Amino acid sequence: MYQANENRYKDMSYRRCGKSGIVLPPISLGLWHNFGDVDVLENGKQMLHTAFDNGITHFDLANNYGPPPGSAERNFGEILKASFLPYRDELIISTKAGYGMWSGPYGDWGSKKYLVSSLDQSLKRMGLDYVDVFYHHRPDPNTPLEETMSALDLIVGQGKALYVGVSNYNAEDTLKASKILKELGTPCLIHQPRYSMFDRWVEDGLLDVLGDEGIGAIAFSPLAQGLLTNKYINGVPENSRASKATGFLQKESVTQDVINKVIKLNAIAENRNQSLAQMAVAWLLKDDRITSVLVGVSTEAQLLDNLGALKNLDFSDSELEAIEVVLKG
């Protein structure tokens, strides 16, 4: 029977999520990869144990995580039942809906029908009465924003989620969604955008909106699907994400220009006594509008390496300038 480390909170500092009463660990664990039916359940269990033992209280899922879709939630539910039920009130568990999940016109996007039905299914898969955070996973160009936000408000009113958030929304839509939710009495807790040294779209207005509206931010893909590690310094290795025909990181993306930037960034990280992955995480956390960084790992060792980023979150002006020269080069 799993017993959590008694000192799990000793060395972890938590960050306020916007202007809410919630704090999150600066590093949270995402279950986008490595928790599906194609993966080894015991490995996932050990990663979750290691995370919690080190003060990571936030586990992030979505209805379509797997593969196959739904399997990450179901597998997480098994681990939750076996290991974490005594600690449920110490955890922040989130899930999402917004991408295709089942056949027909009601299994995708942002209608009230889809969001409410999807969360009902997610709760059953995980064996939960409620999630702490429920996100709309992506904007829906065909559903009125008022309907989507009213669905989030309804879900909180039903007690199926304590807080709500959005993901992948641009600055303009985030501001509109925030204002609607405030009027409904269910403020937007958090935004989950893609953000890394190599993908900085959030700096074009979104972070300003989040700061002004008092909304937290949790960045996903902080390592740019593994590019911001030492994995690709010598090209594309076998069994890496970029080596596979399917996936979000394509081999064509790993250009010589990208590799040259990675090599230079790695040298800066080494001078900071960090791995490149650690520096990439720390670089995001230098902005106090970033509440947490969502990491996806395949081993305990990767998770512990990511946690090592927290030992050095400070950057000198010269380091930041050197990083900008590399990124803009």
Q: Is the pLDDT of residue 106 over 80?
A: yes
pLDDT in tens, 181-235: 999 999 999 999 999 999 999 999 999 999 999 999 999 999 999 999 988 887 6
pLDDT in tens, 41-54: 999 999 999 999 99
Residue pointed to by tokens 């074009």 = 204
Q: 95-104, 141-150, 238-247: lowest mean pLDDT where?
A: 238-247
> Distance between CA atoms of 212 and 248, rounded to whole angstroms?
32
Q: Which residues contact 183 (CB under 8 A, 6 or more apart)?
A: none
Domain ranges of the chain: 15-228+275-314
Coil, strand or helix at 282:
helix
Question: 211, 205, 197: which is closest to 276 by C-alpha?
Answer: 197
pLDDT in tens, 110-135: 999 999 999 999 999 999 999 999 99
The fourth-level CATH superfamily of domain 15-228+275-314 is NADP-dependent oxidoreductase domain (3.20.20.100)
What integer pLDDT is reported at residue 249 of this predicted model?
55
pTM of the model: 0.94
Q: Is the pLDDT of residue 174 over 80?
A: yes
Residue pointed to by tokens 């704090």 = 23
pLDDT in tens, 20-38: 999 999 999 999 999 999 9
What integer pLDDT is reported at residue 233 of this predicted model?
84
What integer pLDDT is reported at residue 252 of this predicted model?
72
Percent pLDDT > 90 in the chain is 91
Residues β-bridged to residue 58: 92
> 302 exposed, middle or buried (CB, 10 Å; 0-12, 13-18, 19+)?
middle
Mean pLDDT (the chain) is 95
What integer pLDDT is reported at residue 251 of this predicted model?
64
Give the H/E segment covering residue 122: helix 112-126
What integer pLDDT is reported at residue 329 of this predicted model?
87
> Distance between CA atoms of 287 and 26, rounded to whole angstroms?
11
What integer pLDDT is reported at residue 231 of this predicted model?
85
> Distance between CA atoms of 83 and 88, rounded to whole angstroms?
10
Amino acid sitting at position 209: V
pLDDT in tens, 231-290: 888 766 665 555 444 455 556 778 899 999 999 999 999 999 999 999 999 999 999 999
